[in-house]
A and B are shown apart, each in its own frame.
Chain A
Amino acid sequence: MVDQEHFEPVIIGFTCNWCSYRAADLAGTARVKYPPNIRLIRLMCSGRLDPTFVLKALAGGADGVLITGCHPGECHYLEQNYKALRRFLLLRRTLVAMGLEPARVRLVWASAAEGVKLAHEIETMVAEIRALGPLRWGHNGTASDSAHDTHAYAMAGQEVSP
């Protein structure tokens, strides 16, 4: 079983090439520390975020999804972050209806200058999801342990022992 006391969430973060990805770069350059639970994906714009990506991440074993983009009015592509906001609000409603805690999917605006802010948001989110516990969508509804690892073995073409 997953050890509840030592549960460490895995969070997939979607970043915008122009703001939040650079904020992550900046956090790195400035050696700002944040928990290693987040794994970032670079998109050209938060407007590129297909809601499917979020569902895929949650279904694939992520315990939460962080969506980041440029501040309102500062989109590199003029206004596409507003479209991301629209999709996010609709998606979250759907996810909540499916029983997901709203804290697991989060939208944060972070400009290229806000490395510290991004790190802080990640830290907060990791702490909140750690408190919520594992999502287990990636476990196909079963409570088998280390599903990610079996996934890994399967993907690596190795034998899976149930």
Chain B
Amino acid sequence: MTTQPQGPSQSEEKIGVYVCHCGSNIAGTVDVAEVREWAGQRLAGRGVTVARDYKFMCSSLGQELIEKDIKEQGLSRVVVAACSPHLHEGTFRTACGRAGLNPYLCELVSIREQVSWVHTDKHAATDKAKAVVSGGVERVRHHVPLVPLRVAIHPDTLVVGGGIAGIQAALELADAGKKVYLVERDPSIGGHMAQFDKTFPTLDCAACILTPRMVSAGNHPNITLLTWSEVTEVHGYVGNFTVKIRQRARHVKTELCTGCGICQEKCPKKVIDDVYEAGLGYRKAVYTPFPQAVPKYPVIDVENCTYFRKGTCRACEKLCPTGAIDFAQKDEVLTVQVGNIILATGYDLFDPQRVTQYGYGRLANVFTSLEFERLTNAAGPTNGAIVLRDGKTVPKSVGIIHCVGSRDRNFNNYCSAICCMQSLKFAHLVKERTGATVYNFYIDIRTTAKAYDEFYQRVLEEGTLFVRGRVAEVTDAARLPGEEGKLILQVEDTLAGKQRRIPVDKVVLSAGLQPRADAKATAQVFGLSCSADGWFIEKHPKLDPVATMTEGVFIAGCVSGPKDIPASVAQGSAAAARVLSTIDKGEITLEPVRASINATQCSGCRICNTLCPFGAISFLEADRVSEVNPALCQGCGTCVAACPAGAISGTGFSNDQVLSQIEGLLMLNVAYA
């Protein structure tokens, strides 16, 4: 009543099945000996000639077991039932290769992630493991020997984002003699770090340590700096990306501009600077965001420029000593070839207006952390004076609220990592510069990195008051004497076990970090995926934190989650090191998972032509058949599934392989208790 699966007849293949215990990870739930015995007996007719179980198949002894059987028993196929192929597929393929078997004749099936770790019923788990093994055995019979694709690596690299992580990555590569395109959306590189005053825990000034790096990146002969620019399209694959970059018109001829600043001085149009000055200060319509900007050339903000709005003014043009102003400049699209891409596009600050009970935007003297950074910055709107919104009153008491928008089920569940240290830094600066009473309202103090806890102890000794509890409300409605004209923080002090009302002059909200508002769109341009929170997903959270699932695209800094400056810099360097290794090797090998079209079977219907988003399929007019360009094919297999003639086959995931695996998986009807 049933049909034999198609494919090689039983006598042709000699298959070895290896069931891993993974210590007790698998063996604790799956009866591995039973699976091994079952495979050896029941699947003997399907070509299984060797079945073994072993404590740790991935150990060198486990691998040697396979190699020995290939050599001595002449195995032609290998199935390993162990962990996820994403973990150890490479290990077992390499082992097969060492023993002279084509690595692609090995199949790793997951009985750990998909069986022992997710099921509790031992009997059912053992039966499912058998089914999974038989699926693997049926599938492996249809494997064909493959040779990995070798791809040459273009030696140039694209770094997207000119914050500290991107700058670090670009400099590492450039110093190693490699060409880099550093693309930044804003008029200057520097990122968030350029907005800060002091950096914790050492309190060295952010500009003092950042500016030299910015200048190096700006002057480096190997770095092509593309500010006021955005990546619009990415095509190709690792080693050979074609990237389109839209360079917005600066309306300033950079070859003539000397950066003298006369245009900014003379421009009559003042604009609230809600990017660099966090809305606390003004800039002109022609501007560089800050004095140390790299490059030094200003941009004209077309939306606010009087000439662009009303057709008159042209003050900058008249007064520019070198004639560098060019109102007619148009956006340009550059196309560059690169081998690798590093994304360091950073984060957005959580908008504390969403936490309505803290009154940001409603109560004048509630500030965000970024506003406070600008206030303390000597080059900021108040020249470093810590004052209230009126611009002159020095506060006598300041409340700093931690975890605003972080560790909060209503907003973001995650810890933003930097807010504790940032809040401690603020407390220190307020104390130092105003002598005001400072309260820190915290849930937990997390000061885990080097010299962080020492800084906490120092702030404690300076007399900053710490109240453990999440602030319920910030209000200006005075109820008790002494509260008039103040901001009152209503909080449950969870250490004292009582409700408190603490009146202060000023409140700083230590807002958390969140993914860029356009992170999803960016992910799409570069073919990456985002976590549920919106951070980019690393290839492995511990062992491969700067690589992504997309070969040739790396990530660094806050783009994958909140990080402080040292961690961002480390990731910038790490990503550069990963890129350097591929450049120096000159080529990388890729999985040979590709589609190909059998010309004699192709009817020329062209259904597949429009399905490929990579433009890998073209129609040969002369022969009236379609053809796949293996260099462009990414191996998704959509065309394989669509071909009505069955003329397209996909290596690694052929119809025979999948259909046989289905049969194998269904071989055993699991009887549950």
Residue numbers of A with Cβ under 8 A of B are 6, 8, 10, 12, 18-19, 21-22, 24-25, 27-29, 31-37, 39-45, 47-53, 56-57, 60-62, 70, 73-74, 76-80, 83, 87, 111-114, 119, 138, 140, 146-152, 154-158, 160
Is there an interface contact between B529 and A18, defined as CB atoms closer than 8 Å?
yes
Ranked nearest first, the 4 interchain pairs of A and B with the lowest CB-CB distance are A148-B669, A28-B113, A157-B45, A48-B637
Q: List 30 A-B contacts (CB under 8 A).
A: A8-B672, A10-B669, A12-B662, A12-B666, A18-B549, A22-B86, A24-B110, A25-B113, A28-B118, A36-B128, A40-B110, A41-B135, A47-B611, A48-B638, A48-B641, A50-B655, A53-B659, A60-B662, A74-B530, A80-B638, A83-B638, A87-B641, A111-B531, A112-B549, A113-B532, A147-B1, A152-B668, A154-B2, A155-B4, A160-B1
Inter-subunit contact A76/B641 (CB<8 Å): no
> In the complex, which of the residues A27, A47, A48, A113 contacts B118, with contact meaning CB atoms closer than 8 Å?
A27
Q: Does B298 have its Cβ within 8 Å of any Cβ on chain A?
A: no
* Closest residue of A by beta carbon distance from B520: A73
- Whether the Cβ atoms of B128 and A39 lie closer than 8 Å is yes
With a cutoff of 8 Å between Cβ atoms, the chain A residues found around residue B634 in the complex are 77
Using CB atoms, name the residue of chain A closest to B116: A28
Min CB distance A2 to B, Å, is: 9
B524 within 8 A of A: yes
In this complex, the member of B2, B120, B128, B613 whose beta carbon has the largest number of chain A beta carbons within 10 angstroms is B2
* Also in contact, A42 and B668, with CB within 8 A (given A28-B118, A48-B641, A76-B529): no
CB atoms of B638 and A57 under 8 A apart:
no
* Chain B residue at minimum C-beta to C-beta distance from A40: B114
When distances are taken between beta carbons in the complex, the residues of chain B under 8 Å from A76 are 527, 529, 549-550, 636
Chain A residue numbers with a CB within 8 Å of B524 are 73-74, 78
Contact A77 B613 (CB under 8 A): yes
CA gap between A128 and B641 in the complex, in Å: 29
On whether the beta carbons of B531 and A113 are closer than 8 Å, the reply is yes
Instruction: Give me the interface of B with A, judged by CB distance under 8 Å.
Output: 1-2, 4-5, 10, 42-46, 84-86, 110, 112-115, 117-121, 124-125, 127-128, 131-132, 135, 520, 523-524, 527, 529-532, 537, 549-550, 593, 611, 613-614, 634-638, 640-642, 650, 652-653, 655, 658-659, 661-663, 665-672
Hey, which chain B residues are within 8 Å of A42, CB to CB? Answer: 85
Residue of B at shortest CB range from A50? B641
| B-chain residues with CB within 8 Å of residue A74 when the two chains form the complex | 520, 523-524, 529-530
By a CB distance below 8 angstroms, the chain B residues around A48 are: 636-638, 640-641, 650, 653
User: Are B119 and A36 interface neighbours, CB within 8 A?
Assistant: yes
Q: Which residues of A contact B661 (CB under 8 A)?
A: 41
Chain B residues positioned under 8 Å from A62 (CB to CB):
662, 666
Bound-state CA distance A109–B652 (Å) is 24
Identity of the chain A residue whose Cβ is nearest the Cβ of B5 in the assembled complex: A155
* Cβ contact within 8 Å between B527 and A57: no
- In the complex, the answer to whether B640 meets A111 with C-beta atoms within 8 Å is no
Q: A60-B663, A155-B663 are in contact. Are A44 and B637 (CB under 8 A)?
A: yes
Residues of B within 8 A of A37 (CB): 670
In the assembled complex, how far is the CB of residue A121 from the closest CB belonging to chain B, in whole angstroms? 13
Please, which residues of chain A bring their CB within 8 A of the CB of B520?
73-74
User: In the bound complex, do residue B120 and residue A33 qualify as a contact, i.e. CB atoms below 8 Å apart?
Assistant: yes
In the complex formed, the residue of A with least CB distance to B661 is A41
Closest beta carbon of chain A to B10's beta carbon, Å:
7
| Interfacial chain A residues near B658, Cβ < 8 Å | 41, 43, 50, 53
Contacts A10-B669, A151-B669, A156-B44 known; list 20 others, CB within 8 Å. A8-B672, A12-B665, A25-B86, A34-B118, A35-B119, A39-B131, A39-B135, A44-B653, A48-B638, A74-B524, A76-B549, A78-B613, A78-B614, A112-B529, A112-B531, A148-B667, A148-B668, A151-B2, A152-B667, A152-B669
Cβ of A160: which chain B residues have Cβ within 8 Å of it?
A: 1
Q: Which of B85, B119, B523, B638 contacts A45 (CB under 8 A)?
A: B638
Q: Are A39's CB and B132's CB within 8 A? A: yes
Contacts of A151 in B (CB 8 A): 1-2, 666-667, 669
Contacts of B549 in A (CB 8 A): 18, 76, 112
Known: A12-B665, A79-B613. A44 touches B636 (CB 8 A): yes
Q: How far, in angstroms, from A53 to B658 measured CA to CA in the complex?
A: 8
- CB-CB under 8 A from A73, the residues of chain B are 520, 524
Residues of B within 8 Å of A41, CB to CB, are 135, 658, 661-662, 665
How many angstroms between the C-alpha atoms of A74 and B523 in the bound complex?
Answer: 8
| Minimal Cβ-Cβ distance residue in A for B117 | A28
Q: Report the bound CA distance from A142 to B117 in whole Å.
A: 37
Residues in A whose Cβ lies below 8 Å from that of B43: 156
CB <8 Å contact, B114 and A28: yes
Chain A residue at minimum C-beta to C-beta distance from B671: A8
Report the Cα distance A3→B60, complex, angstroms. 47
Residues of A within 8 A of B124 (CB): 36
Could you tell me the distance between the alpha carbons of A150 and B666 in the complex, rounded to whole angstroms?
11
Cβ A155 vs Cβ B667 within 8 A:
yes
Compute how far the CA of A80 lies from the CA of B616 in the bound complex, rounded to whole angstroms.
14
CA distance A113 to B121 in the complex (A): 26
Task: Contact check, A114 vs B666: say whether CB atoms are below 8 A apart.
Answer: no
User: Does the CB pair A32–B640 fall under 8 Å?
Assistant: no
Shortest CB-to-CB span from A139 to chain B, Å, is 9
Tell me the complex Cα distance, A42–B653, Å: 9
- How far apart sit A39 and B118, CA to CA, in the bound complex (Å)? 12
Complex contacts, A39 vs chain B, CB 8 Å: 128, 131-132, 135, 665-666
* Alpha-carbon separation in the docked complex, A73 to B525 (Å): 11
The interface centre, meaning the residue of B121, B530, B550, B652 with most chain A CB atoms within 10 A of its CB, is B530
| B113-A24 in contact (CB<8A) | yes
Q: Give the CA-CA distance A88 to B191 in the complex, in Å.
A: 45
Write out the residue numbers on chain B whose beta carbons fall within 8 Å of the beta carbon of A156: 42-46
Q: Which residue of B lies closest to A47 (CB)?
A: B638
Tell me the complex Cα distance, A110–B457, Å: 45
Q: How far is the CB of A27 from chain B (nearest CB, A)?
A: 6
The residue on B at minimum CB distance from A48 is: B637
Asked whether, in the complex, the Cβ of B1 is within 8 Å of the Cβ of A24, the reply is no
- With the chains together, A41 CA to B527 CA distance in Å? 23
- Whether A33 contacts B118 in the complex (CB less than 8 A), given A44-B635, A76-B529, comes out as yes
Closest beta carbon of chain B to A8's beta carbon, Å: 4
Beta-carbon nearest neighbor of B121 in chain A? A36
Known contacts A22-B86, A78-B613; A50/B640 CB under 8 A: yes
Contact A31 B529 (CB under 8 A): no
In the complex, A149 Cα to B667 Cα: how many Å?
7
A48 CA to B650 CA, complexed, in Å: 9
Q: Which residues of B contact A52 (CB under 8 A)?
A: 655, 659
B58 to chain A, nearest CB (A): 16
Contact pick for B529, options A57, A70, A155, CB 8 Å:
A70
Question: How many whole Å from B551's CB to the nearest CB in chain A?
Answer: 11
Are B132 and A83 neighbours in the complex by a CB distance under 8 Å? no
By a CB distance below 8 angstroms, the chain A residues around B45 are: 155-158
What residue in chain A is nearest B643 (Cβ atoms)?
Answer: A50
Residues of A within 8 A of B637 (CB): 43-45, 47-48
Bound-state CA distance A25–B83 (Å) is 9
What chain B residues lie within 8 Å of A27 (beta carbons)?
A: 113, 117-118
B638: nearest chain-A partner, CB-CB: A47
| A25, A29, A36, A111, most chain B CB atoms within 10 A | A36
Query: Chain A residues with Cβ under 8 A from B4's Cβ?
Result: 154-155
Q: Tell me, in angstroms, the Cα distance from A113 to B125 when the chains sit together.
A: 24
